[in-house]
Structure formats: structure tokens, C-alpha cells
Amino acid sequence: MFLLIHKFRYDKSKKYPILSTRDDIIVMVDEAHRTQYKGLAENMRTGLPNANYVAFTGTPLLGSKKLTYNWFGDRVSEYNFSQSVDDGSTVPLFYSRRVPEVWLNNDYLDDDVLDIIEEENLNEEETRLIENSSSRILEVIKRDDRLDKVARDIAHHFPRRGFLGKAMVVSVDKYTAVTMYDKVQHYWKLEKQAIIKERNQAKDKDERDKLKEMLNYMDKVEMAVIISEEDDEVKKFSDKGLDISEHRRKMNQITAEGYDIEDRFKDPNDPLQLVFVCAMWLTGFDVKSMSTLYLDKPMKSHTLMQAIARANRVYPNKPCGIIVDYVNVFKYMKKALADYANGDNESELPAKNIDQLIVYIDQTITEADDFLRSININLDSIIADSSTFDKLDKLRDAYNTIISNDDNKEKCKVILNTLINLYDASKPEIFENNWSNEKFSPLAYLHGLFNNTIDDDKIKRAKDGHTHIASPAPFLRRRGFSMLCKNENRCPVTKPDSGFLSSCFLSVVYASINTEYACIHLLDSCSVAAGETL
């Protein structure tokens, strides 16, 4: 028999009747959340006093009361977050703590206050408790200048991510969610104006094209507020200087194809890319293409775990989920992940600081270098070569050596794909950290060879078909491949710049030739969705 817990509603003034005293009844409860610990659940147990109860839940209530264990007993079987990542059922999570000048010290927020903040519709008593217990922190969270900083950062961060998946902005209440929508819209326009100015001033065509692609992406992005409806909400929002009418119309709108707002956000091809919420869609709402959660609301325990899990669904080319933390919620995240993952071993937690991605990149580069050395390919020797064309020739020779053995070919492909995926996942933070590693670009070039994005015939025609070859170094350097032109007599040595490489790195090498010279142009093959054209 399948039924909802709501079937056990009964007159509260009367005792629920006994339905059966049999002891061979098994009640299997899916999504054993709050409805399973009082009221309706008590009625069910009164009606079936000798039944055996089994619960399935991804987020058991493990607070001081440990309600899940008290009602259902100890764990019988566990499948945790780390196992899910290892099995490929979910992608790993990384958190990024941004705009530190507005971080909050929320150590003094007690559990009762956090429980109330997690609710979307507060009654008067709950509102008074929050105001009395944590007026200072709520005042800081909702302070206008602070929200401006967060909104400005979101407008900057969102179009510069490596994987341009969908995202949510989680605010402390409905009014702040609407306020954040308005502010992000404002800074979105300013960000576009700044990019237009930068594009117009750019002297390099490829840089202009890259900025143009970013602008095209930003033009297509649609945003929406998703909050529950309440009585007299137009007046309530108006009293705070906000207009909810247009947002409510959009939330209730059905497209000509019969899609509602949920369908649109779940569709990876729909322009609705960024939503502003405070409680809705944070539990039981799966959007596989969603990759980023901007968290600006204190949360804890199972509610926090449910929220961050919105970003860990598997989707093609999605390397990980990113949790952007604006309220220093990591203290609670560590505790929640310890409860639901692998105990208290922080190094094993599935949500790690995004800086760890850069560590992984360097480790993967070392692994790639060691592997190449094991088959007598020396990256240091290639990088040190004085001629740029010789570097490219040696990388082609290295590639031919690798693919001559099937085992070596497959192992190298795995390492290089891992490297590029890690690099993409770390954007834009890796640019902000000024990271560089001189071996990254040669490895990225090899990755391009594996993915058939390098046209060696055109390189050969440029080299062999003309009496004078202008140095390709300026073009290489602009694409972040400057270590390949180190010691080139036409190219001064500069700091390696890996900031503009992408997962495909080099798609086309073509000759721009006239009677006096030939140049090598290295162009990136990132899709428009990636927002990069180099």
C-alpha cells in the first residue's frame, strides 16, 4: 500500500483509533523529514502500535535531540556523500568564501534562531524572537551597503565561471531576496558597461572577441525571484519600498508551450539562469545543470546539507558544484558535512575550499610530468628550447610517442582531461589568485592534440612554404602559452600566463600569410556557453 502521511489527519481533540495490532506490518518511510516526528506521524504509530518502521532520508535530523534515531532507531545502512562522489553519482562540492570585508561572525547564533531563519513565512512571535536574539547580525546581513557588495560580486562572478551552469542566490528572507534581485540587476548593467568599454579599448581582436562572447552570454541571461505567496503581500512589500507584483506574475506565468517557472529553470537551454530564493527550491528540487549556490543566509545541519546538495547533481561537462559563501557559514557546513559525510575528518569532506582545486591542478601537473618522464619525454627540455617552432615540433613528437602505445595513450588522456577539468572548475578564482605553472601550457597543448584541435598542416605550411617566418610568440603569449616562446629572440621572457587557457585550449592553427611574412594564430575553441573566445 502506498499513501501519504496526510492520510493520518484526525481530530486533535480525539485519540487516533487502533487500525491493527499485528506485528508483521512493515512501514517504509521515504524522505523521512519533519512530518515524521510529530502530529501525523504520532497518529500513524498510534494506529499501528506494533508495526516495524524503516526510514529513508538523505538528511536525518542529527541535532541534540537526534529525532531520526529516536523515532526509527540506529542506522541500518549508510550511503554518504563521499561514496556518492566516488561512485560518480554526484559531483564534488567546493566552497568559495568571497568579499571578506563583509564576512560575519555568527558564532553566537543559537539553534533556535537558525531554525526560525530557515523558515520562509515567519509569524509575529518568530519575528520578535529573531529581532530580540540576533538583531545585530540580521541588521548586518540586510545592511544596504553590504548587500551592494554582495550583489556587485555576484554580477562579476557569475559570467566568469568556468562552467556556466544555472545558479541560486539564497537570501535571509523574502524582502531581501527581492532586494538582491534589484541590486544584481543594477550591477549587471554596470558590469556590461564596463565590459563594453574594455572591449572597445582592446587592441587585440581575440580579446575583443572574448569580451563580445561574455556580453552575448550576459544579454541572454534571465533572472527571477522565487518566493512563496502570502496574504496582502503587495502592501507588505510596498511598505518596504519593493514591488512584488511583476515577480509574482512571472512566477505564475505559463509559457505557450505549457512550461511553468520550474520547468523553465530545469531546462538547461532556457535563458532563465539565475534565481533568487530564501526557502523555496532548496529541498527536493533537482536541476542537474545547476552548478553554483550563492549562500547569503545563515543555515545549519540538514537544511544546509539539503541546500548545498542542489549543486552536486551530475550533468555533462560539469566538473563540480560551487558554494559561494557570503555569511561565513562554513562553520556550520563543516559540522553538517561531518554529520552526513565521513565523521570529523575534514580532509575527507566532499566540500572543500576552492583553493584546493589549485592544489589539485599542481598535483595533476606533477603527475603528468612524472608520467611523461617515465616514457622519456622531458617537459623541462621542451620548455627550455630556444625556438618556438621547435617547441611545437617536440610536443608533436611527444604526442606521437604517447599514442604509439595504447596504455600510455589512455593514461595520458585521463590525466590531461582531469587537469583541464580542474582548471575550468577553478574559474574565476584561479585568475584572482594569479596562479601560474610553466608546465600547464605545454600539457594543455598536448590536450589539444588529443582532441584534434591543432592543425599541424597549417603550421608546416607556415614553416616550409615561405622564406621568412615572423615569430608566433606574440600570439602564443596572448593565449597564455608564453612559456613556449621563452628565449625566442623576438619575444621577451614574460611571466607565464595561464589565465586564458581553456578546456579545449587550441582549436585552429592557421597561417596569416602575405609576401613578407607568415604568422601563427592560435585560437581557442571554447563554446559560446563557456563565455570564452580567445
Confidence of residue 25 (pLDDT cuts 50, 70, 90): very high
Residues of the chain with CATH 3.40.50.300: 82-353
What mean pLDDT is predicted for residues 94-98?
87
Task: Supply the pLDDT for residue 21.
Answer: 95
Higher local confidence (pLDDT), 32 or 144: 144
- What is the phi-psi region of residue 479: left when phi exceeds 0, alpha when psi lies from -120 to 50, beta otherwise? alpha
The number of C-alpha atoms within 13 Å of 431 and in the hemisphere containing its C-beta is: 14
- The C-alpha cell at 261 is 517557472
Task: Supply the pLDDT for residue 101.
Answer: 55
Q: Specify the long-range contacts of residues 368-373, CB closer than 8 Å, at least 24 apart.
A: 368/412, 368/415, 368/416, 368/419, 368/439, 368/443, 369/439, 371/411, 371/412, 371/415, 372/398, 372/402, 372/412
Summarised one tens digit per residue, pLDDT across range 386-399 is 677 788 889 999 99
Task: Supply the pLDDT for residue 100.
Answer: 58
pLDDT at 514 over 50: no
pLDDT at 520 over 50: no
Confidence of residue 379 (pLDDT cuts 50, 70, 90): very high
Task: Supply the pLDDT for residue 118.
Answer: 60
pLDDT at 146 over 90: yes
Summarised one tens digit per residue, pLDDT across range 185-208 is 999 999 999 999 999 998 888 889
Q: How far apart are CA 508 and CA 523, in angstroms?
A: 6
pLDDT at 499 over 80: no
pLDDT at 211 over 60: yes
Which of 2-6, 65-69, 406-410 has maximum average pLDDT?
A: 406-410
- Taking CA atoms, 147 is separated from 96, 138, 143, 189, 297, in Å, by 18, 12, 6, 16, 12
DSSP 160: G
The answer to whether the predicted template modeling score (pTM) of the entire model surpasses 0.75 is no
Name the pairing type of β-strands 166-170 and 222-226: unpaired
DSSP assignment of 205-266 equals HHHHHHHHHHHHHHHH-EEEEE----TTHHHHHHHTT---HHHHHHHH---TTS--HHHHHH
> Which are the contacts of 297, defined by CB distance < 8 A and separation ≥ 6?
117, 141, 170, 171, 172, 278, 327, 329
Share of the chain above pLDDT 90, in %: 42
User: Which range (359-363, 430-434, 488-492) has the least confidence?
Assistant: 488-492
Smallest Cα–Cα separation from 424: which of 505, 490, 365?
505
- The C-alpha cell at 289 is 545543470
Q: Which CATH superfamily is domain 82-353 in?
A: P-loop containing nucleotide triphosphate hydrolases (3.40.50.300)
Smallest Cα–Cα separation from 502: which of 397, 398, 428?
428
Tell me the average pLDDT of the chain.
78
Task: Supply the pLDDT for residue 104.
Answer: 56
Summarised one tens digit per residue, pLDDT across range 455-483 is 555 555 555 544 333 344 443 444 344 44
The stretches of 48-107 forming alpha helices (DSSP H) are 67-72, 81-87
Summarised one tens digit per residue, pLDDT across range 319-358 is 999 999 998 777 766 666 556 555 445 555 657 888 888 8
Q: How far apart are CA 199 and CA 188, in angstroms?
A: 16
